[in-house]
Amino acid sequence: MSGSHMEATVLDQIIVGVRADLAERKAVHSLADLEARIATRQAPLDVLTRLRTPGLSVISEVKRSSPSKGALATIEDPAALATRYELGGAHAISVLTEKHRFNGSLADLDAVRAAVQIPVLRKDFVVDDYQVWEARAHGADLVLLIVAALDDADLQRLHQLVLDLGMTPLVEVHTPDETRRAVDLGARLIGVNNRNLKTLDVDLAQFGRLVDLIDNDAVKVAESGILTPDDAALVHRQGADVVLVGEALVRHGDPTSAIRAMVEAAGTR
């Protein structure tokens, strides 16, 4: 997070929009509304057991746009795309729910949840307890928590709430300090984002630099910049148990075979 004399980072700007949208949704749906909806939901799926299977696991992303690349794909039918991902052997589906920069929504999450049997990740900029309740109400099994967006107290509280609601937190880091914070938190699923959220630059070598700071019991996810089967194989050799892939799949004519190719290229390490 930037200091008072620094220019606002991309992350800071995104969170301003996230908080405005959140206020609108809170005005429409109370926490009691969300709790009532959660009571009708099936229990969250066990994510970590699935991601610990031998070989490389893939979290495939439903992603229309990004701040760095703009529009990536129209994705008129998120459920159909998610079904193709599941067919290709994806272990989980990530759904962007942020509206302004990623053109996502909770409706996308609902559509994907109804279409697939595998775990679903709510990928957003979570800064408030309400968003965690909301994720569960819409059927998420995983919730992204971005260390760069949260102070220690918020990170700890939100991490515990995700666990209390039966979901799995995916704790995202992109610097050595953030990685230490995630490890100190006791996070069991840690994602190294090769994209710097403050500048949007991507460096695929970032995963390899940070992976040794993560304790061996945690499931390690490489995020961003994984565009080819060779990229997937590289981070797998470096210690990634999982890759999170969005752009390469939404732009690919055959995402089912693209996922299979990444899993096969990685082998079993």
**What is the residue-wise DSSP string for 217-259?**
TSEEEEES---SHHHHHHHHHHT-SEEEE-HHHHTSS-HHHHH
DSSP class of 198:
T
**Residue 196 annotated as catalytic:** no
Annotated active-site residue in 98, 134, 178, 223: 223
Catalytic option among 57, 61, 94, 178:
61
Identify the active-site residue in 65, 86, 123, 194.
123
The residue from 63, 86, 98, 247 that is catalytic is 63
Q: From the candidates 60, 193, 194, 196, which is the catalytic residue?
A: 193
Identify whether 98 is a catalytic site residue.
no
Torsion of Cα atoms, 46 then 50 then 51 then 52, to 10°: 110
Q: ∠ CA 182-187-193 to the nearest 5 degrees? A: 55
Q: How far apart are CA 96 and CA 106, in angstroms?
A: 8
Answer yes or no: 69 catalytic.
Answer: no
The one catalytic residue in 98, 134, 224, 247 is 224
Q: Is 123 a catalytic residue?
A: yes
* Strand pairing report for 189-193 and 219-223: parallel
Active site residue 223: yes
In the set 98, 172, 178, 247, the catalytic residue is 172
Helix pair angle (152-164, 129-137), 10° resolution:
20
Token readout for 3 is: 């200091």
Radius of gyration from C-alpha coordinates of the chain: 17
Cite the beta strand spans of the chain per DSSP E: 57-62, 65-66, 70-71, 92-96, 120-123, 142-146, 168-173, 189-193, 219-223, 242-245
**C-alpha dihedral sign at 129, 130, 133, 135:** negative
- Exposed, middle or buried by CB within 10 Å (0-12, 13-18, 19+), for 164? exposed
Residues designated catalytic: 61, 63, 123, 172, 193, 223-224
